[in-house]
Structure 1
Amino acid sequence: MTMTSQGSRFLTKALFNRTKSTPPSTLSLAILSGSLSQVRAMASDAAASSPFKKVQIQRDNGTFDAYVIGKDNAPGIVVLQEWWGVDFEVKNHAQKISQLGSGYKALIPDLYRGKVGLEVAEAQHLMDGLDWQGAVKDIEASVNWLKANGSKKVGVAGYCMGGALAIASSVLVPGVDAVVAFYGVPSPELADPIKAKAPLQAHFGELDGFVGFSDPKTGKDLEEKLKASGVPHEVYFYPGIGHAFMNCSPEGAQRRKKMGMDDEDAAAVEQAWSRFNSWMGRFLSN
């Protein structure tokens, strides 16, 4: 099985497993119908608007876009998107990260090259087409760009699909100083966490039903592998909440409800950010 189908299989299976509590019209029929509306191209004006600065990063024989926010010469953090693409939520996270502690320089690489999914079926289509090994190369190029542009130390943080890629970066990307991953674990074909090299913190909701990707058992398995790896690590489980619980903006909460995830816990979100801040501060302070 290819990496793209491997990653999509976990999420698609989990979405089908949720249909007992979710009206078919909001999830399963969107996927089963196969009627994808045309994948929306991200409006460059909106993506590059203040407070983000658009930059081009070199990788192999080409370049890709990335969006930067935060203090120059501050420690850097590469912020990795969910399966939706570089949308409002990952930009919300990056802006929040840039303001933590004494300030960070947060960089979002555009792994989808300008495409954004607005519906579940679109997001699945985009993730199906992702070159996961290529995405790891994007992360490495982003880490190198930050280190070449004033950041002495650089971490990686990611959410859902980006969480899995963040863990992969701990295994595969030289120069990563710390990782925080939210509710996503890579398939062993991409990266085995037992080979992690960078300190890694991970967060999971105890009600997460994305079996094999971010459910509690997968999180516990990750914890055991990190123990065997010998790297500093912390793995947290949050009771009473499910997948994507950090997406608590009004738009993010509405989208979660549409997907059958109507749980919210502001205290858990605040606790996760506090743990994130402590972890990155511990390993990225100059």
Structure 2
Amino acid sequence: MFNLSIPTLDSKDSFGAYAAGPEDAPTIIVIQEIFGTNAGIRAKCDALAAQGWRAIAIDLFWRQVRGLELDPDVPEQFQQAIDYMNQYNLDDGVTDIEATIRFARGQGAPKVGVVGYCMGGGLAFLAATRTDTDASVGYYGGPIPSKLNEAHAIAKPVLLHFGENDHFIDADKRRAIHEALDANPHVTIHDYPGVDHGFATQFGKRRDEAAATLADSRTAAFFSEHLK
């Protein structure tokens, strides 16, 4: 599954990653949902590579278990993913993203962005507040409402996507996100009516084709503007 090994920031360990596309191209770090670097996340990397990017999906849960790959449409595996998420330290995730940004630039990437989904969408937001990523995209980032106190640190372009029927990020939480971020000129937020959490998964029962296609087209235009 993995074709890269990325050193941690302290160089005392390393973690796996799946990569597609030329090393010296502008790079997009793909931050997984809670289901590991599964087939859907790898397919997103392949799609980005087909558009001319270097895409790197990192193994976030490597401190708990290496190479986790779960199917969200299987109830037992969905619950297993929830259990891993509940044990996970988001600060570790930001550290691994920062290490990957450093790795990509060391390979010759002129610019590096991040895109994340679900928990990864929250980490994309934190990458925008804590790292020097050039542009960040978050899809339905569940941790964002609890991290809005960091919004003042956003200094590079950020794009966020939310479903209006998201049962994890309800209307009150989305309202708080808008109140905290709408005035920031670096941030653009899109809300998608009638869709739930996970609507842009690459495939599976949660995908909403129309909303996913629209959101992904906006993401493509955003990265073309800010990473090229």
- Give your verdict on TM over 0.5: yes
Deviation at 1:54, TM superposition (A): 2.5
The number of equivalent residue pairs is: 217
Counterpart residue number, 1:97: 48
User: 1:167–1:247: structure 2 CA closer, same or farther, 3 Å change rule?
Assistant: same
Q: Is 1:111 equivalent to 2:72 in the alignment?
A: no
Q: Distance in 1 between matches of 2:80 and 2:37?
A: 13
Deviation at 1:191, TM superposition (A): 6.0
Query: Structure 1 residue aligned with 2:215, among 272, 276, 284?
Result: 272
Per-residue CA deviation, residues 89-147 of structure 1 (Å, 9 max, x unaligned), is: 111222222223xx111111111112334412210111122121111100000111111
Q: Distance in 1 between matches of 2:39 and 2:81?
A: 14
Q: Distance in 1 between matches of 2:171 and 2:160?
A: 11
Q: Distance in 1 between matches of 2:110 and 2:149?
A: 26
Query: Structure 1 residue aligned with 2:5, among 42, 50, 55?
Result: 55
Q: Is 1:243 equivalent to 2:192 in the alignment?
A: no
Counterpart residue number, 2:74: none
Counterpart residue number, 1:88: 39
Q: Distance in 1 between matches of 2:126 and 2:29?
A: 13
Q: Distance in 2 between matches of 1:181 and 1:219?
A: 13
User: 1:190–1:68: structure 2 CA closer, same or farther, 3 Å change rule?
Assistant: farther
Write the letter of the residue equivalent to 1:160: C
Per-residue CA deviation, residues 43-72 of structure 1 (Å, 9 max, x unaligned), is: xxxx13xxxx33333332221111111123
Q: Is 1:164 equivalent to 2:122 in the alignment?
A: yes
Counterpart residue number, 1:225: 180
User: 1:227–1:190: structure 2 CA closer, same or farther, 3 Å change rule?
Assistant: closer
Write the letter of the residue equivalent to 2:39: F
Per-residue CA deviation, residues 194-252 of structure 1 (Å, 9 max, x unaligned), is: 43222110111111111xxx334323322332234x34221111112111011252xx2
Matches within 5 A, 1:249-260: 249=203, 252-253=204-205, 256=206
Q: Is 1:181 equivalent to 2:138 in the alignment?
A: yes
Sequence identity (%): 31
Matches within 5 A, 1:6-155: 47-48=1-2, 53-60=3-10, 61-100=12-51, 103-113=52-62, 114=66, 115-118=68-71, 119-155=77-113
- Single out whichever of 219-228 and 128-137 deviates more from structure 2: 219-228
- Single out whichever of 83-92 and 117-126 deviates more from structure 2: 117-126
Q: Distance in 2 between matches of 1:94 and 1:145?
A: 17
Q: Distance in 1 between matches of 2:202 and 2:6?
A: 30
Counterpart residue number, 1:41: none
- Single out whichever of 237-246 and 182-191 deviates more from structure 2: 182-191
Task: Say which one has the larger Rg.
Answer: 1
Query: Structure 2 residue aligned with 1:192, among 133, 150, 155?
Result: 150
User: 1:233–1:187: structure 2 CA closer, same or farther, 3 Å change rule?
Assistant: closer
Q: Name structure 2 gaps, 5 residues minimum.
A: 72-76
Q: Distance in 1 between matches of 2:41 and 2:4?
A: 15
Which runs of at least 4 in structure 1 moved beyond 4 Å after TM superposition? Answer: none
Q: Name structure 1 gaps, 5 residues minimum.
A: 1-46, 257-263
